[in-house]
Amino acid sequence: MRFFDIHPVNLVKALSMALELSINGMSRHHWQTAMICKKIADQISMNATEQRTLVFAALLHDIGAASSWDERQKIQQTDTFEKRSLGAHAEAGYLLLKDSPQLGYLAQSIRYHHDYWCGGNKSGLKGSQIPLVSRIIHLADRVQILIHHNQSIFAQREKILESIDRSSGIVFDPLLVKAAHEIMQAESFWLDLVNASYYENFFKTLDVYGSVRYSSDDAIQIANIFAKIIDKISKFTAHHSRSVTKTAVFLAKLEGFSEDDVKSMEIAGLLHDLGKLAVPNAILEKPGKLTAEEVVIVRQHTYYTYRILEQIDHFEVIAQWAAYHHETLDGQGYPFRIGGKDLSLGSRILAVADIFVALTETRPYRESLPKQKVQDIMTNMVKQNKIDGNVLKTLFDHYDDAVLLVDTRLAVKENERFA
């Protein structure tokens, strides 16, 4: 069994990046919220174990909204500050994480991160019944969304302080508001928040949380959570990551990969489209042809898959297998334009699996393509020096078994999608 010695902070930081992707790069909602949480925790002398839970939960707190751009926008708007309608994604985040052996300990804190101090919450909790970690995330989260990034931070300081004061004892725990008030007097509090280059130092300070040993099975379980999130982005490809994974694992075994490498392929398959979180649902679900501008936006997904996965300790090979699935042997693929000589067998397998699944999945505008058609299209791609002919031969030699691995059910129903 392969083990990865992972600094959990690197893992959670990388996963939180996936929640921050947008058309124009990354926002820093989770990172800033985590930094505010850490400063409040220091101020109230929270112990190290609780701090660790707090910071990691803060880094993933809106995971329940990640699949939906509308939801992500809604929860980050300043005018929702005093509305009580934000709980759905907190519950969704809880449901995503609660059964995870690795991240399940964060689920409760995420579940209550929009609960009001004064009560009236769906959870039935109020005041100090609400977990302290959730209360801190709630306050830090709302401070973060009040920051306008195109204005001087000091011109906003008073307004932000007034807002949280007004909500003290109603929305927020008054003792936490008091603690926040004290730390917010320091100029450095605000400067750290808006100083993009400070984040690396901030994450380094979290190295004290040490490293953990994750087996490949642990990593597969975490990857499965993210595959669920990715597949929810578009109702038209609701099973795509999991079908690609099954096909890629099937091919890796046939190509003689070791048991450990087959598991790495499983992780790579589950996460290959992680960067799709940078593509708005509306583009992924557009019924007609995409404009040139939209194509560029869609194509950035594998770039982000790579940049996220490369940050996780010992994930170098997995990052390449996962993120090179739109690279081609002739060097005309994207986003790195890597030619055949640098495309390993693992990357070639995942590329073939991805295309095969895309062609055999049912789409709203067409049925699953028949065998002959799939073979014609993919054989043509070999002729054009796009994909690997040997891998394709392996697939075609086992076509009837492979096609059973693809979930051809069309889409989930809209009402089930974000349930």
Q: Which residues bind Fe ion (CB under 5 A)?
A: 62, 75, 141, 273
Token pair of 286, please?
A: 């557009």
Residue number with CB closer to Fe ion (137 or 179)? 137
Residue number with CB closer to Fe ion (141 or 388)? 141
Residue 252 in 3-state DSSP?
helix
Indicate if the alpha-carbon torsion angle 399, 404, 405, 410 is positive or negative. positive
Taking the complex as a whole, the smallest distance from the CB of residue 31 to Fe ion amounts, in Å, to 11
Q: Alpha-carbon distance 6 to 210, whole Å?
A: 9
Q: Who contacts 320 (Cβ-Cβ below 8 Å, separation ≥6)?
A: 306, 344, 346, 347
Decide: 63 and 93 in contact? Cβ < 8 Å. Answer: yes
Q: Alpha-carbon distance 345 to 362, whole Å?
A: 28
Decide: 101 and 129 in contact? Cβ < 8 Å. Answer: no
Residue number with CB closer to Fe ion (7 or 29)? 29
Q: Alpha-carbon distance 206 to 66, whole Å?
A: 24
Determine phi and psi for 172, rounding to 5 degrees.
Answer: -115, 155
Residue whose beta carbon is closest to Fe ion: 141
Run of H or E including 215: strand 212-215
Residues shown for the chain: 419
- CA of 235: how far to CAs of 252, 279, 299, in Å? 28, 14, 19
Taking the complex as a whole, the smallest distance from the CB of residue 142 to Fe ion amounts, in Å, to 8
DSSP state, 331?
S
Residue number with CB closer to Fe ion (32 or 264)? 32
Residue number with CB closer to Fe ion (20 or 261)? 20
Determine phi and psi for 22, rounding to 5 degrees.
Answer: -145, 180
Residue number with CB closer to Fe ion (51 or 302)? 302
Taking the complex as a whole, the smallest distance from the CB of residue 369 to Fe ion amounts, in Å, to 18
Token pair of 169, please?
A: 């004892």
Residue number with CB closer to Fe ion (6 or 92)? 92
Taking the complex as a whole, the smallest distance from the CB of residue 364 to Fe ion amounts, in Å, to 18
Taking the complex as a whole, the smallest distance from the CB of residue 8 to Fe ion amounts, in Å, to 21
Looking at this protein, which amino acid is placed at residue 175?
Answer: L
Decide: 280 and 23 in contact? Cβ < 8 Å. Answer: yes
Decide: 43 and 179 in contact? Cβ < 8 Å. Answer: yes
Taking the complex as a whole, the smallest distance from the CB of residue 145 to Fe ion amounts, in Å, to 7
Taking the complex as a whole, the smallest distance from the CB of residue 89 to Fe ion amounts, in Å, to 6
Nearest CA-CA partner of 188 in 75, 334, 42, 68: 42
Q: Who contacts 293 (Cβ-Cβ below 8 Å, separation ≥6)?
A: none
Taking the complex as a whole, the smallest distance from the CB of residue 16 to Fe ion amounts, in Å, to 11
Residue number with CB closer to Fe ion (6 or 88)? 88
Residue number with CB closer to Fe ion (75 or 96)? 75
Decide: 167 and 180 in contact? Cβ < 8 Å. Answer: no
Taking the complex as a whole, the smallest distance from the CB of residue 276 to Fe ion amounts, in Å, to 7
Residue number with CB closer to Fe ion (65 or 392)? 65
Taking the complex as a whole, the smallest distance from the CB of residue 113 to Fe ion amounts, in Å, to 6
